[in-house]
Amino acid sequence: MIRLELELELNYQVRDARGADFVFNVQAAPTAHQVIDAERLLLSQPITPDVADDPLTGTRFMRLHAEAGPLQVAYAATLTLHHHRAEPDTLGEVPVRHLPPEVIPYIYPSRYCQSDRLLKLAFDEFGGLWPGYSRVLAIQHWVQRHVTFTSNTTNSSTSAIDTLVERVGVCRDFTHLMIALCRALNIPARIATGTDYGADPALGPPDFHAYVEVYLGDRWYLFDASGTGVPMGFIRIGTGRDAADVAFATIFGNVLANPPVIRIRALEGPGLESPQHVREALSTDGPVSPSLPSGAAADAAGGAPGALGPPTWQFPD
């Protein structure tokens, strides 16, 4: 059991007399294995925000209108993680015909993860590997070998294809490329956001972090595409198809934004452990489909053929 204490501050200067609208995704998501013990949200302006929860993922979006002048958003939470752990060799891919309906959107190409353009690369590099956790890990290692982590080298328009060409990026770019390669093999994959627990201080101050969740067996498992953090210390804030779904702030108006200030630490005490790298597969999610259709359990657990081949699409003219 791991207990983490998170504090973050976002500071803005609204420069339009009419104010500005914001949508934030900074609050921790309640999941089957991530419990929010306590949390606090403070806004420097007298605002009552609207908050919407995604019932499938726990992602929380907070919308507000701020008046001209300074705005500070301060969020703090204490979270307990009881990770689901599994032996990697027991986790197989689930054929498309057996995927739970809510997982299907994560096999399609998306704005930043153009898996349809990586089909040949994915099948040439990984098509002959056993369809399961080890193949996904091979994709992660391939991305880490071929892309160099360098701060301030990409921007909000950088996609998986751009990263493949440029071979440089930040955690978000590693994540997009790994997701795209997984989807090219018909493996459901999505982006998750949290903080970069365990990252080398030489990379900069603590920050938000993007990592990958891949659907294997009957739930979503964590993979750190960039390899810069310690997955056991990753909290989950948002999940989506790619970064377009999980920006920590979306701003409508003339606003000056300062870098986020983030502090996260693991608490010590009886029954608590410190986050560390482990061999087992980790998940903070519960089972998405507890009872698989006939035949799917065997497919998901042990070596049944994975992807039948690259997908093709039919579109309206």
> Distance between CA atoms of 253 and 228, rounded to whole angstroms?
34
Domains and CATH numbers, the chain: 2-81 (2.60.40.2250), 85-246+274-301 (3.10.620.30)
Q: pLDDT tens digits for the chain (317 residues)? A: 999 999 999 999 999 999 999 999 999 999 999 999 999 999 999 999 999 999 999 999 999 999 999 999 999 999 999 999 999 999 999 999 999 999 999 999 999 999 999 999 999 999 999 999 999 999 999 999 999 999 889 999 999 999 999 999 999 999 999 999 999 999 999 999 999 999 999 999 999 999 999 999 999 999 999 999 999 999 999 999 999 999 999 999 999 999 999 999 999 999 999 999 999 999 999 998 633 554 444 454 444 455 577 777 766 76
β-strand 60-66 against 148-149: which pairing, if any?
Answer: unpaired
pTM above 0.85, yes or no: yes
Contacts of 142 (CB under 8 A, 6+ apart): 125, 126, 181
Contacts of 114 (CB under 8 A, 6+ apart): 159, 160, 161, 180
